[in-house]
Amino acid sequence: RWDRKTGFELFEKRIGLIGLGRIGQEVARRARAFGMEVHAFGNYWPDVFATEFGIIRHPSLDSLFAAVDIISPHTNLTDDTLHCIDTRRLAMMPEGSWVINTGRGELIDQTAVIAALDSGKLAGYAADVLDEEPPAADHPLLHHPKVIITPHIGSRTFESVPRQAMKSLTNLINALKGEGETNCANGVI
């Protein structure tokens, strides 16, 4: 279809990153390239990087949600982060905000996001991850008119697949030698 819709610019929008690790930093770099104001919250804080890119640090998730137009989580799924994007926090955001989730499907309370989309609080929700993958045909986010879903392919490029394989192999060899792993999602093993 050739539907011409009017969108909004990223320039001068405020994006809030939950987590400023390796992926959060890459998103921050790209956001700054588009002229966005980058805010972040997380346990890990790379001082040099944050200073270089002018990232505004928040003391809490609540503070972050209240300050931004777009929320993008890049954190591990833990008991503390399960459904950290919920009704209460979405209510803190301005009308017409967006949530972009390429982290973990369970970071969002799906019912809260759908309610916020239906009320107009959220202008849209975009995700590369869902709470169940692959999703059932009747998954409520798949058919919502304000939702964009891709099938968990954000890191799936011809170039990245060999890098991921090599990183896995390197981690296996390092573990067998008693050395540390890198990019370990579930902590040190």
**Catalytic residue IDs:** 104, 133, 152
Q: Give residue 59's region: left, alpha or beta (phi > 0; psi -120 to 50).
A: alpha
Amino acid identity, position 160: S
